[in-house]
């Protein structure tokens, strides 16, 4: 955690989101997995949407990774992703598939995985 | 990292049914959070810039300005893919109380927190341990052994940190993969013990 000196963006975050302060629909988790759902970018979207869509064309990333690569705040990236999901350009999947809960089985899987690194 | 998004440097995830999990790496400034994440991460560490509105923070007293300031802080994170279709994300989280709202936001859904401490300034980790407890997150304390820091036995450190007997305490070197992995294992074991022992009821 370090303080970051202010830096100018090409497009300010409030413009990247079309001036909205909350998502049209969905508040994703930082670890929501995003991947492309269309061979071409959806029509009628702004440049920042297109950047996110292009980023995800080759493969899947979590929301927080997409935000880091685009150098946008997570909240702004959330708006863009929600718009793209609405427009059919992206699919979003929750961090834990099939609506499982974090339970003992999952933590045991994590532990086994970590122990295999020993 | 430059601002252009270049495909070759982006670590895409395979499009499978992995379980994505999150742990926090918390601690005071300079304690080695980013070093530990870098040691363990399979991708170059990334960061997001988070805009924080601080109310009434007793930091600046600027006449004529409202008592509200916005600060941008960088949150570092890394990723570790494990056998068994598990992907673990490690988020370095701010140690200061004034960042608590951001902290809560990042902590949502996290399995637990690894609180890093430095023997030269153990007290600086107290506030973080309080915040983790308030959040109800299970945690383990990892003392990052800096070469020039005084070495103490685990028992002495437990006493100084006033740890609950169940809270794991491990010694690690944030630059060293093996001891950093052990710290995560200690935390994951503690998370497991803190879960209800019976399987969750099926809905």
Interchain CB distance below 8 Å, B89 and A64: yes
How many CA atoms does the CB half-sphere of B71 hold within 13 Å? 20
Question: Which residue of chain A has the CA closest to B25?
Answer: A1
Q: Is B159 left (phi over 0), alpha (psi -120 to 50) or beta?
A: alpha
For the stretch B64-74, pLDDT in tens is 555 567 778 88
Distance, first Cα to last Cα, chain B: 46
Interchain CB distance below 8 Å, A111 and B189: yes
The whole-number pLDDT of residue B8 equals: 54
Query: What backbone phi and psi angles, to 5 degrees, belong to B19?
Result: -95, 125
For the stretch B85-104, pLDDT in tens is 999 999 998 777 888 888 88
More confident: B15 or A105: A105
The whole-number pLDDT of residue A87 equals: 93
A contacts of B196 (beta carbons < 8 Å): 104
Interchain CB distance below 8 Å, A106 and B21: yes
Asked whether residue B121 is assigned to any structural domain, the reply reads yes
Q: Can you tell me the distance from the alpha carbon of B144 to that of B37, in angstroms, rounded to the nearest whole number?
A: 13
| B10–A contact, CB cutoff 8 A | yes
Query: What's the whole-number average pLDDT of chain B?
Result: 86
Q: How far is the alpha carbon of B20 from chain A, nearest alpha carbon, in Å?
A: 5
The whole-number pLDDT of residue A6 equals: 53
Contacts of A75 (CB under 8 A, 6+ apart): A13
A contacts of B176 (beta carbons < 8 Å): none
The whole-number pLDDT of residue A26 equals: 78
A contacts of B94 (beta carbons < 8 Å): 1
Q: Can you tell me the distance from the alpha carbon of B101 to that of B168, in angstroms, rounded to the nearest whole number?
A: 26
The domain that holds B71 is classified in CATH as 3.40.50.300
The whole-number pLDDT of residue B172 equals: 95
Q: Can you tell me the distance from the alpha carbon of B134 to that of B141, in angstroms, rounded to the nearest whole number?
A: 16
Q: Is the pLDDT of residue B81 over 60?
A: yes
Q: Which of B28, B33, B82 to mutate to test the interface with A (most CBs of A within 10 A)?
A: B82
Give SS3 for A5: coil
Q: What is the number of domains present in chain B?
A: 1
Please give the DSSP secondary-structure letter assigned to residue A41. Answer: P
Q: Is the pLDDT of residue B5 over 80?
A: no
Q: Which of A11, A110, A112, A115 to mutate to test the interface with B (most CBs of B within 10 A)?
A: A110
Asked whether residue B44 is assigned to any structural domain, the reply reads yes
For the stretch A40-73, pLDDT in tens is 999 988 999 999 999 999 999 999 999 999 999 9
Residues of chain A where predicted confidence (pLDDT) is lower than 50? 21-23
Q: How far is the alpha carbon of B60 from chain A, nearest alpha carbon, in Å?
A: 15
A contacts of B51 (beta carbons < 8 Å): 13, 73
The whole-number pLDDT of residue B116 equals: 96
Its pTM stands at 0.85
A81-85, B11-15, B32-36, B180-184: least confidently modelled range: B11-15
Q: Is the pLDDT of residue B129 over 90?
A: yes
The whole-number pLDDT of residue A17 equals: 55
Q: Which domain holds residue B42?
A: 18-193
How many CA atoms does the CB half-sphere of B74 hold within 13 Å? 17
pLDDT-based confidence at residue B150 (cuts at 50, 70, 90) = confident
Nearest to A97 among B17, B84, B95 (CB): B17
Asked whether residue B198 is assigned to any structural domain, the reply reads no
The whole-number pLDDT of residue B22 equals: 96
Asked whether residue B202 is assigned to any structural domain, the reply reads no
CA-wise closest residue to A87 among A44, A54, A58: A44
Measured from the Cβ of residue A13, the count of other Cβ atoms closer than 10 Å reads 17
| B59–A contact, CB cutoff 8 A | no
Asked whether residue B113 is assigned to any structural domain, the reply reads yes
Q: How far is the alpha carbon of B127 from chain A, nearest alpha carbon, in Å?
A: 15
B-proximal residues of A, 84-113, CB under 8 Å? 95-98, 100-113
Strand partners for B112? B23
Q: What is the ipTM of this complex?
A: 0.85
| B102–A contact, CB cutoff 8 A | no
The whole-number pLDDT of residue A33 equals: 96
The whole-number pLDDT of residue B50 equals: 85
Asked whether residue B7 is assigned to any structural domain, the reply reads no
pLDDT-based confidence at residue B154 (cuts at 50, 70, 90) = confident
Give SS3 for B147: coil
């Amino acid at each position: 955690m370090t303080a970051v000196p202010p830096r100018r963006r090409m497009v300010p975050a409030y413009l990247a989101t079309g001036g909205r302060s909350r998502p049209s629909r969905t508040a994703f988790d930082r670890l929501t997995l995003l991947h492309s759902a269309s061979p071409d970018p959806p029509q009628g979207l702004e440049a920042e949407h297109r950047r996110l869509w292009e980023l995800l064309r080759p493969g899947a990333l979590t929301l927080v990774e997409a935000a880091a690569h685009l150098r946008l705040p997570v909240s702004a990236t959330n708006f863009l992703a929600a718009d793209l999901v609405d427009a059919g350009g992206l699919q979003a999947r929750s961090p834990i598939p099939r609506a499982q809960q974090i339970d003992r089985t999952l933590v045991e899987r994590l532990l086994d995985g970590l122990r295999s690194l020993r | 990292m430059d601002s252009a998004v270049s495909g070759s440097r982006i670590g895409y995830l395979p499009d499978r049914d992995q379980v994505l999990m999150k742990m926090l790496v918390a601690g005071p400034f300079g304690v080695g959070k980013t070093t530990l994440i870098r040691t363990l991460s399979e991708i170059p560490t990334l960061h997001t810039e988070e805009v924080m509105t601080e109310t009434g923070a007793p930091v600046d007293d600027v006449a004529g300005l409202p008592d509200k300031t916005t600060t941008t802080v960088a949150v570092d994170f890394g990723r570790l893919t494990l056998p068994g279709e598990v992907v673990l994300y490690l988020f370095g989280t701010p140690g200061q109380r004034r960042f608590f709202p951001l902290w809560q936001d990042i902590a949502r859904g996290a399995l637990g927190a690894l609180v890093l401490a430095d023997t030269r300034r153990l007290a600086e980790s107290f506030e973080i341990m309080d915040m983790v407890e308030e959040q109800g997150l299970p945690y383990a304390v990892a003392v990052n052994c800096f070469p020039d820091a005084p070495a103490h036995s685990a028992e002495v450190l437990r006493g100084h940190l006033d740890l609950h007997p169940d809270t794991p305490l491990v010694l690690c070197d944030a630059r060293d993969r093996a001891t950093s992995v052990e710290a995560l294992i200690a935390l994951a074991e503690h998370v497991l013990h803190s879960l209800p022992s019976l399987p969750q009821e099926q809905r």
